[in-house]
Amino acid sequence: MPRRPADISRPHYNVIFAVLLIGISAYAVLQSLVAPVLATFITALHTTQDTATWLMTAYLLSASVATPILGRIGDKIGKERMLVITLLALTLGSGLAALAHSVGLMIIARVIQGLGGGLLPLSFGIIRDEFPAGKVNSAIGLGSATLAVGSGLGLLIAGPIVAHLNYHWLFWIPMILTAVATVACWMFVPESPVRTPGKISWGAAVLLSAWLVLLLLAVSEGPTWGWGSPKVIGLFAGAAVCLPLWIWTELKSSAPLIDMRMMRLPTVWTTNVVAMLFGVGMYTVMTFLPQLVQTPRAIAGYGLSASITQSGVYLLPMTIGMFLLGIAAAPLAKRIGLKVVLVLGCAVSIPAFAALALGHSQGWQIYLASGLLGVGIGLAFSAMSAIVVQAVPASQVGVASGMNANIRTIGGAIGSSVGASLLATGVTAANPIPKDAGYTHVFWLLAAAAVLATLAALIIPAVKARPAAPGAEPAFDEDAVVAAV
């Protein structure tokens, strides 16, 4: 198929944005679609609980590697080109998962789907390149909100899809969306005007992949294998060796994969600290809150005996809140600044987690906490991404936003693993249901993480906007962002 003419007029940025949102939505839904119906996969694929968890672990590991690396490759060879490749991989992975009848093939499909992690940094880079200066923050905010909402939507729709269709449609629907987005991206998203010169440091890519995989595999499998097991200790030791080697390689490279000077920028590293702590809360609550409300009260003495579909309904206030507040974050930031919006988002999450820790035996308590979490996540997600994009040169938007997203994922993996260990206390083969006190401890842990995230957000320094592209007008002036610092 021939490429479109190079001299064709550039599409309106709203057309570009619509294409980006389709891809982000499909990727976000795939992040959370499997977790609430894991029991269905155990039965349908004739596998065990431990093996089935690899449907999530494989996706997590693949996305953690792909997110920063594909973002950086896009900075160098063209974001539009890499976005088409990423969407195509996501489409093929979803199609393979839809056709899979064995757990091995499904795990391979989930690895391919994880390559969709590159969508976020590539999309944010395209927004920075293509959008009018005053529209950049709003677009990034809505893109971030779409990612958060898509994760919540996956929890909401998984039950009805499995109940009325079958598990194959959990992947057919995202595959259709990403196929449409792939064609639309090829047709309507223009070539990137901003490129980073130099070769790609593949040695750094290998070391980055190594320490990420070793670390995430250790924290993901720690509750199952045992934190003191030789395998987990060996994985942590390997990550501890590969991480400093990766940093040393990047510092010595004339064309680093990830510029350590950029990562050391005060605005970048402080926002990344917030990202990790906030990731602990967001991803962990999405993992364990559905499990809590699905617990049969008659057997466990707690829980709401909800079905998979009903558990998604309990999270509906969170999904709605993430969407509405994600949209409202950018105009709010123009008034009070992105930093204040981020602080508010983190702070609102504290009473939400505390409320769950203090009481989670009634439906209204879950709805209330879910709504507060929607407000907090919607504000924080949007502001966090916009701060990072505004803090770095246009040529490094892809890798900077990719690492920020990756650090959130690492936080989520750590939080989920520690939470699983807390819930496993007192669980036996004869009594496999966690104790109610385990959930209370998990929610207090998340409240503590939200407190630390709020404190970290308070120390984020001033952001000075950089030009969107050589010769282009400056991006949205962030003086308002830092006025409250």
* Residues 176/180/183/189 CA torsion (nearest 10 deg): -140
Q: Write down the pLDDT at residue 140.
A: 77
Express each pLDDT in 272-298 by its tens digit: 999 999 989 988 888 889 889 988 998
Task: Kindly report the CATH class assigned to 13-200+257-482.
Answer: mainly alpha
Contact partners, residue 395, CB within 8 Å, separation at least 6: 75, 194, 195, 196
What percent of the chain has pLDDT above 70? 91
The residues with which 474 forms a beta bridge, in sequence order, are 467
pLDDT band for 237, please (50, 70, 90 cuts).
Answer: very high
pLDDT surpassing 90 at residue 465: no
C-alpha torsion angle, residues 51, 53, 55, 58 (rounded to 10): -100
Q: Can you tell me the distance from the alpha carbon of 389 to that of 475, in angstroms, rounded to the nearest whole number? A: 10
- Summary mean pLDDT of the chain: 83
Structure tokens at 57: 């672990």
* CA–CA distance, 447 with 369 (Å, rounded to integer): 12
Instruction: State residue 429's pLDDT score.
Output: 64
Most confident range, picked from 25-29, 236-240, 431-435: 236-240
Q: Work out the end-to-end distance of the chain between its first and last CA atoms, rounded to an integer number of angstroms.
A: 52
Can you tell me the mean pLDDT for 345-360?
95
* Amino acid found at 42: I
Best-predicted range by mean pLDDT (50-59, 98-107, 321-330): 98-107
Confidence of residue 245 (pLDDT cuts 50, 70, 90): very high
Q: How many CA atoms lie within 13 A of 124 on its CB side?
A: 40
User: Which pLDDT tens digit goes with each residue over 365-414?
Assistant: 999 999 999 999 889 988 887 888 888 887 777 778 778 888 888 888 88
What phi and psi values does residue 201 have, to the nearest 5 degrees?
-80, 95
Radius of gyration of the chain (CA): 21
pTM exceeds cut of 0.85? no
What is the biggest distance separating any 2 CA atoms in the chain, rounded to whole angstroms?
Answer: 69
Q: What per-residue confidence (pLDDT) applies to 239?
A: 94
Q: What is the pLDDT of residue 10?
A: 64
